[in-house]
Amino acid sequence: MKRKALGVSVAIMGLLVFISTAYAGSNSYQPVAKTPDTITVFINHIDNNGGKISLQADDIQWYEGKEADKVFLEREKDSGLDGPPDGYYIVNDDKQVKTLEVDPNAVVLMQIYDRTGNIYNVTTEWNQAIPLAKFEAIYHANKVLDVSAYPYHLTIKDGKVVKIVQQYIP
């Protein structure tokens, strides 16, 4: 009887380890797909006018991997480097800011932000969904971690932002 109970316990533990490993493997950085309805921006300001949220956004071009190497070498010929130091490269030739209305049901996915008010608790949690109102609060509460320093990928449908994905920067 004890041997059977031990066998069942070992099987359950093995299953838990397998499930945990499978989950951890799928919970990693994945580049945001470039689509015709997605733009990458720096968010300069978030306005809330009576519940209607809008973003002041500065379009940028975000490159990573081999594409970043190529663009970096074209634009930074005299740098003495073979590619961008952190594997990504940002181009911001036009600093014009535009206003974008955010759909009240927009999906917001964050990678890193201040969850507790303590810098030692700031960790990366890939694509953590948060409500739009929480994103607005996090954006304005920038004493521990300033999330305005990160690029965001915005999906736009029918003239409104329907998805906001924070770009992880190593």
pLDDT average, residue stretch 54-66: 97
CA distance linking residue 164 with residue 74, whole number of Å: 30
Of the candidates 161, 160, 108, 154, the one whose C-alpha atom is nearest the C-alpha of residue 135 is 108
pLDDT in the model for residue 17: 33
Domain boundaries defined on the chain: 1-30, 32-166
3-class SS of residue 2 = helix
Beta strands in the chain (DSSP E): 38-49, 52-64, 88-91, 97-112, 124-130, 151-157, 160-166
Alpha helical stretches, state H, 39-157: 66-75, 132-140
Residue-wise pLDDT for 9-58, tens only, equals 433 333 333 333 333 334 788 889 889 999 999 999 999 999 999 999 99
CA distance linking residue 124 with residue 143, whole number of Å: 18
Torsion of CA 118, 43, 168, 81, to 10 degrees: -120
Residue-wise pLDDT for 119-140, tens only, equals 999 999 999 999 999 999 999 9
Backbone angles phi, psi at 159, to 5 degrees: 80, 5
Residue-wise pLDDT for 80-114, tens only, equals 999 999 999 999 999 999 999 999 999 999 999 99
Pairing label, strands 88-91, 97-112: unpaired
Whole-model pTM?
0.82
The residue type found at 68 is A
